Amino acid sequence: TLMVWQKGRVDFVEFFAIFLPSLLNWIIPAAIMSMTVSKERPESMSESIRMKVGAKRIMVLFLLTIVTAVSFHNFLHLPPATGMMLGLGYLGMFSFWLKKHEGRAMTGDQPLDMTGHNPDEHCDEPAVAHEEHGLVEGFDLFRKIARAEWDTLLFFYGVILCVGGLGQFGYLAVTSQYMYHDLGPTTANVLVGILSAIVDNIPVMFAVLTMDPHMSHGQWLLVTLTAGVGGSLLSIGSAAGVALMGTARGIYTFGNHLKWTWAVALGYAASIAVHLWINASHFTDFH
């Protein structure tokens, strides 16, 4: 959705036209799978968990960042990335204020721990503060940025360069001619969704945008829908599936996911059918 929106193929509010098809795509497999889920409840945790100082304000800043990015693009015709970078500025200013007024700056470069284990248990001078709000670590914006998934970002950068190279050499033009002229846009966009189950949807969508086929408004919404939800057909087609295979090894596997591909495919087919039905008027509007 972000890539199609930034290219100006679909306006921000117009994406709500595929909300119902997307909802149906989720409800059908979820309802089928829920029938096999055990009714047992996991044991409740006795551990007391508290929000860190400034947590709620950072949530508000996150929402404000999204509003800023959308507003910049819609009203000022600036790239959404400009609004996101301004949002990073919001966070930077708040980080400075938090250090200045709360006095909870980190005293050392402690590892970012997502397991619940306190890395400072065996340290003589832990970089945490025991306050009325509970165990609080200092907030260091630059430390968070330094620990971002740079490998993943560079991977997508490389993939986009490869797709751009294919377009420069004319291979994407040949593919576009076959898919969108010989097969037709509807068939092509359905196949794009299936392809996104094998290849990540970001390079797939970037390839479609590079081809820039002459399609109706409804077809751009269709390819946005299929590329967005088609990745769930296989476990390797979505970031969530890949991450879960890594964290739930032996429990959630490629083969286990295949057992439920039919249910996901039902939702995928239903979402396409509903979109073609309720958004039929959009298929006569060409950009």
Residues 210-260: pLDDT tens digits?
A: 888 889 989 999 999 999 899 899 988 887 887 788 788 888 888 889 999
Which is higher by pLDDT, 131 or 89? 89
Which is higher by pLDDT, 150 or 64? 64
Count of beta carbons in the 10 Å neighbourhood of residue 124: 5
| pLDDT digit string, tens, across residues 112-133 | 444 444 544 444 444 444 444 4
Three-state DSSP state, 108: coil
Three-state DSSP state, 33: helix
Closest C-alpha to 274, from 196, 218, 231: 218
Beta-carbon-side half-sphere exposure of residue 236 (alpha carbons within 13 Å): 5
Q: Report pLDDT for 286.
A: 66
The model's pTM is 0.71
Q: Which two tokens stand for residue 233?
A: 């057909």
> Once rounded to an integer, what is the mean pLDDT over residues 139-154?
75
Residue showing tokens 């008027």 = 281
> If 0-12 CB within 10 Å is exposed, 13-18 middle and 19+ buried, where does residue 207 land?
buried
Task: Give the span between the Cα atoms of 99 and 102, in whole angstroms.
Answer: 6
| pLDDT digit string, tens, across residues 3-21 | 888 888 888 888 999 999 9
E strands present in 74-131: 128-131
Q: How big is the chain by its Cα radius of gyration, in Å?
A: 23
| pLDDT digit string, tens, across residues 47-65 | 777 887 788 999 999 999 9
| pLDDT digit string, tens, across residues 196-213 | 898 878 888 888 988 888
Which amino acid, 267?
A: G
Report the b/e string of 214-250 with b at 16+ CB within 10 A: ebebbbbbbbbbbbbbbbbbbbebbeebeebbeeeee
Q: Which two tokens stand for residue 248?
A: 């739930």
| pLDDT digit string, tens, across residues 181-193 | 889 999 999 999 9
